[in-house]
A and B are shown apart, each in its own frame.
Chain A
């Protein structure tokens, strides 16, 4: 029940061992072990910059999802909001108060961890009641709150069990229960479903949506799974290498990705990318690839015109579901066909690159592996990215 404002937040992990001291008592780090070798994080004299220029206004009761590949800084950002990581720069406000140096326990937040982090020696009831007991809440109130939360999460029958006697899904419910009994201002979730199997994950995702409708609080949710991000978030923050790539509603991010990374990261199967040319004929924009020239939609024309985009070589992005089999167009070879039930995924090689095309099952393409087909697409689904900086030329 609170606004969260992040202003130009920055996190730098200092180089723990200066070069000349390295190896005095410990082993020398190999190239592979250095954090900056595994990700493209910026390195300065201060250290490795894990998050920078992170600015975001989270409204009261909003559900924000931070999404990105591992090492992009999403968990670090969440941990800074929680108070578990020091903030190297910038300002963090919760409910109007600057909380940069406030202890986690005084921020009135709750957090659900990927590993559940339940206390193994306590029963489910005690796990959920622990934070209230510390606050010296009267016993009858603790009991009421714990039973209410257990009711919401459907774990009332397990209150006397220890965590080890519960399944993964039940443990995660307890972890969520432990967080919601406190009526926190902000509920933080760090990849809470990553340890569950696929079926349970889908089920719990629905549970979280229901939970969100039942409790009035601000959610910040971290995940690397774009499906979770799309289904749960009011707004999604896509991150990469410590920078925000795009902030928007799931629909905005899906329909109007701001750059090549977001386009590739959001949506399954991934968007297909081709080398193409953006042509300007009689004041109208066309995208040319192979022997086809597709006129872009009016909406796109307008945006490109406003930005004064010139003719140039571009990266064309088209989602698999937006490509159609036709008589002429981009030529490609079918490598593998996957029947998915209502549709069929064609794994193809187009211009020496892998691509996926989703066609309706009636498309009659079974047993056509190795066959060459032509594909086209319409002008309203083409995403045009600059070759220079990978940005969407429309924005």
Chain B
């Protein structure tokens, strides 16, 4: 009897595992297939691309790279540099100031604390396109277009990042630790920079990836604010290539630029993912 029951349990486990793996494989396929297709397409010429799709790599990789690099309308190194400056500064400043705001509303008690918290969250409900109208008018009125910092500064106010940071602090930062640091003689800034920030490393890593990717891929605001060739970011350059006239149009170049555009994102992800996995706070307090 017993061995029968055991066998049934084993079969049940096997079936459930097969189902789980099948679902996971399907989802992974959904995620990775189009990625693979993009890589393949970057190895194909425009003519090959017009003729339908294939899963086999072709031999136009270097030609596409050469064409994209030497395209007269775009300057890839400059675009990469612009995108990197904007994305990196946004990611760093967004996470730092969001963490600081979250720390402020979590640790300090002041009048209207709850209102401040809810007000910040309420901003999440306003679509960025709505607030963009006024912002762009302002930028044009004061001749602030074609300035990269104009893309960086507004991104610092990130309610979603703030919310994530606050939830993370609530779960990981015991107030005792802040008080211990105060008694140890630390100033409030030092407490934040030396005690709290290292504890928040995993959250900062996650939010840096998100902010970096969001900023790197951002097309909407740069398209409205940047029109000088030396200020363009990568997404604008991809759009420029796509909208090229018939004589210059080359989808191979577009795919090539897309592949180049995702490389920095992948590198950032690989660097930061290590700190996400690390559970830094375990062992600080009883638990």
Could you list which residues of chain A lie within 8 angstroms of chain B, going by C-beta atoms? 25-26, 82-84, 103-105, 109-111, 113-121, 130-131, 134-135, 162-166, 168, 171, 178, 195
Contact = CB atoms under 8 A, between A and B. Distances in A.
Interface residues of B, number: 26
B182 A84 contact: yes
A109 B195 CA distance: 20
Contacts of B286: 114-116, 168, 171, 195
- If over half of B's interface residues share one DSSP class (helix, strand or loop), that class is named, otherwise mixed; here it is helix
Interface of B: 114-115, 118, 174, 176-177, 179-186, 190, 195, 198-199, 201, 280-286
Nearest to B198: A121
A105 B177 contact: no
Contacts of A164: 282-284
Given A25-B114, A121-B198, A109 B183 contact: yes
29 contacts: A83-B183, A104-B183, A105-B182, A105-B183, A105-B186, A109-B183, A111-B180, A111-B183, A113-B176, A115-B174, A115-B286, A116-B284, A117-B174, A117-B179, A117-B284, A118-B283, A119-B195, A119-B198, A120-B199, A120-B280, A120-B281, A120-B284, A121-B199, A121-B280, A131-B185, A162-B283, A168-B286, A178-B180, A178-B184
Contacts of B190: 134
A111 B195 CA distance: 17
A128 to B, nearest CB: 10
Contacts of A165: 283
- If over half of A's interface residues share one DSSP class (helix, strand or loop), that class is named, otherwise mixed; here it is loop
Contact of B182 (A104, A166, A171, A195): A104
A164 B181 CA distance: 18
Contacts of A171: 283, 286
A65 to B, nearest CB: 20
Contacts of A168: 286
A117 B118 contact: no
B184 A130 contact: yes
Contacts of A134: 184-186, 190
B117 to A, nearest CB: 9
B183 A119 contact: no
Contacts of B183: 82-84, 104-105, 109-111, 131
Nearest to B115: A25
B180 A117 contact: yes
Contacts of B186: 105, 130, 134
Contacts of A110: 183
A92 to B, nearest CB: 15
A120 B184 contact: no
Contacts of A111: 179-180, 183
Contacts of B281: 120
Given A115-B285, A120-B283, A163-B284, 11 more contacts: A25-B115, A26-B114, A105-B183, A111-B179, A114-B176, A115-B286, A117-B284, A117-B285, A118-B285, A120-B199, A130-B186
